Amino acid sequence: MQLHNNAYYLSALGIVNALGNGVDEISHKLFSGDTSGLVLEHGWQADGEARVGRVQSSLPEIPDAFSQYACHNNRLLLGALAQIEALVASAIAQYGAQRIGVVLGTSTSGIAESEQAVKAQQLAGVMPEHYHYLQQELGMPAQFLAKYLALKGPAYAVSTACTSSAKAFQSARNLLKHGLCDAVLVGGVDSLCKTTINGFASLESTTQEISNPMSQHRKGINIGEGAALFLMTKERLADASDIVLLGVGESSDAYHISAPQPEGLGAEAAIRAALQDAGKTVEEIAYINLHATGTLKNDEMESRAVARVFINGVPCSGTKPMTGHTLGAAGATELAFCWMAIQRNQLPPHVWDGEADSALPHINLISTGHTFGPSKPRICMSNSFAFGGSNVSLIIGEQANSII
């Protein structure tokens, strides 16, 4: 009995976002369609309130020995790590620190601390003593995590906007596949900051209402924050999950710097590439977590791509109305929701007003209470799309489904 050549274990998951802290709390709220984590707050924009998916649970402090890495982004990362730290320690003991890598996706890193430092400089004429430029570097979260755990393997970040942490899984898999690592900490982390919120607002892509993906009344996204961190391994560890990464599909249509290709041709290419990589047919996919930002153009192109590939339909949902769009962390976060779905035999609901846009092709958007069919393997796809035409689809499933 041997795993498919492209399949590797997603042995453990740590996660924190607007839904809560940890798999148990987040699962409960996710499967019930809880949107209470999205709140209207002042202070993010000069011209009024913004609805954001802010983490409100307590987070670990950054130890004094790592003060140059001290930022909210890394506290989110430590919050996720704390949930799987025992299994990570076991992997370090088994494989050695030099055989464990770190690959993270991010788009903000610690830019919020830079915003505060620049504001302080404007008032006082000098940068605060506690500020380090390192805090905002995009590669910093991976560097911090490796140093925090004293790991000696490859450690780097991927930053491709909203596909960042989805693309991290391809990189992590390559480290395992080519024998550079025996285990990789892989995922994504992004934190709220004014730069991002005002940037998306300037593109007229945000809304103060809770996002309403695929609806004829959709008006845009809410920005969120969070971290999702997996331990990916070549072999199944004791007391670990038997869920595996089955396939990755990537494409770059480079249609426009910010607008997606209207027909979803790049998205379709990524979806089909993931199916081919996993060795799966469309009929074997039991659930899709859609990118589903709630913007006019993204939902239009994604629904067209999904409808063309899955002509007989497949249960789908977009989960951003419960977390906000966590940007560089979205790919890992929403793959984590698929991981939870497989574990709990529940499917995340599509939270919206139920008023479909007649200009979009019909896709099977599910409500609360759905489970995997009794005769269908638990195999899920997660889609992520980004500026510049970057497209990624990931497929995961139960270990038994990848045995050859």
Are 100 and 151 a contacting pair, CB within 8 Å?
Answer: yes
The one catalytic residue among 72, 132, 291, 370: 291
Q: Say if residues 302 and 267 touch (Cβ distance below 8 Å).
A: yes
Angstrom distance (rounded) from CA 214 to CA 356: 6
Is residue 1 situated within a structural domain?
no
Q: Provide the domain count of the chain.
A: 2
Interior CA angle at 387 toward 366 and 232, to 5°?
Answer: 65
In a domain, 240, yes or no: no
Query: Of 202, 233, 264, which residue constitutes the final position of a domain?
Result: 233
Catalytic member of 325, 350, 370, 380: 325
Active site residue 362: no
Are 165 and 122 contained in the same domain? yes
Active site residue 181: no
pLDDT at residue 401, as a whole number:
44
131 domain-assigned:
yes
- In this prediction, residue 132 carries a pLDDT of 84
Same domain, 204 and 332: no
Which pLDDT does position 99 carry in this prediction?
A: 98
269 and 222 fall within a common domain? no
Residue 238 domain flag: no
**Left (φ > 0), alpha (ψ -120 to 50) or beta: where does 199 sit?**
alpha
Cα–Cα dist 291/271, whole Å: 12
Instruction: State pLDDT tens for residues 317-374.
Output: 999 999 999 999 999 999 999 999 999 999 999 999 999 999 999 999 999 999 998 8
Q: What is the pLDDT of residue 2?
A: 45
Tell me the whole-structure pTM to 2 decimals. 0.96
The answer to whether residues 170 and 257 belong to one domain is no
- The answer on 187 and 107 residing in a single domain is yes
- φ, ψ of residue 345 to 5 degrees: the values are 55, 45
Q: Is the same domain home to 205 and 110?
A: yes
CATH number, domain with residue 286: 3.40.47.10
First and final C-alpha spacing in the chain: 6
Q: Are residues 282 and 225 in the same domain?
A: no
Based on the domain organization, do 203 and 249 belong to the same domain?
no
- The range of the structural domain enclosing residue 162 comes to 8-233
Separation of alpha carbons 330 and 166, rounded Å: 8
Among 208, 233, 258, the domain boundary falls at 233
Reduced to 3 states (helix: H, G, I; strand: E, B; else coil), residue 280 is coil
Q: What is d(CA 105, CA 186) in angstroms, rounded to the nearest whole number?
A: 8
Residues 226 and 273 in one domain: no
Answer whether 402's CB lies under 8 Å from 307's CB: no
Out of 71, 162, 181, 380, the active site residue is: 162
Question: Is 327 among the domain residues?
Answer: yes
* Nearest one of 309, 307, 313, 332 to 384, comparing CA atoms: 332
The three-class DSSP label of residue 321 is: helix
Last residue of a domain, one of 233, 255, 276: 233
Co-location of 174 and 300 in the same domain: no
Asked if 162 is an active-site residue, the reply is yes
Task: Please state, as a whole number, how many other Cβ atoms lie within 10 Å of the Cβ of residue 21.
Answer: 22
Q: Is residue 2 part of a domain?
A: no
State the Cα–Cα distance between residues 296 and 216, nearest whole angstrom: 9
Determine the 3-state secondary structure of 183 from DSSP: strand
Q: Are residues 103 and 152 in the same domain?
A: yes
Stated as kind and residue range, the H or E segment containing 231 is strand 226-233
Q: For the chain, which residues score pLDDT lower than 50?
A: 1-2, 401-404
Q: How far apart are CA 54 and CA 19, in angstroms?
A: 9
Asked if the structure places residue 99 within a domain, the reply is yes
The predicted structure's pLDDT at residue 1? 34
- Indicate whether 23 and 123 sit together in one domain: yes
Is residue 239 included in any domain, yes or no?
no
